[in-house]
Amino acid sequence: MREQAVPARPIMKRLKHLLLGAALTAAAAFVAAPQPAAAGVLGDVNGDGVVDIKDVQVLSDYLVGNSTYVPHPENADVNGDGVID
């Protein structure tokens, strides 16, 4: 029985498509990877990116009991003891 030679073109075409598909899949996975959130600024209680009098007002209202809501409590814990201060 005589063996037939496998044509090189279909194999190369299939290999090219396979490699292209793998490259596109890897690129899509890399681009779509979620980015970690940027660390907040300590003292920026209202989350506007600036520590200013507005943050003092939000924190003051919370501390004296005029408000029970702090938009970014992780930024209000300035000394890292787990308590909004």
CATH 1.10.10.10 applies to domain 41-84? no
DSSP string, 5-67: PPPHHHHHHHHHHHHHHHHHHHHHHHHTSPPPPPPPPTT-TT-SS--SHHHHHHHHHHHTTS-
Q: Tell me what pLDDT residue 33 has.
A: 52
The domain segmentation of the chain, as residue ranges, is: 41-84
Q: Tell me what pLDDT residue 37 has.
A: 46
pLDDT for 84 beyond 80: yes
Q: What would the pLDDT profile of 27-77 be if each residue is shown by its tens digit?
A: 666 665 554 445 688 999 999 999 999 999 999 999 999 999 999 999 998
Q: Tell me what pLDDT residue 18 has.
A: 84
Q: Tell me what pLDDT residue 23 has.
A: 79
What is the value of pTM for the model shown?
0.53
Structure tokens at 25: 């899949």
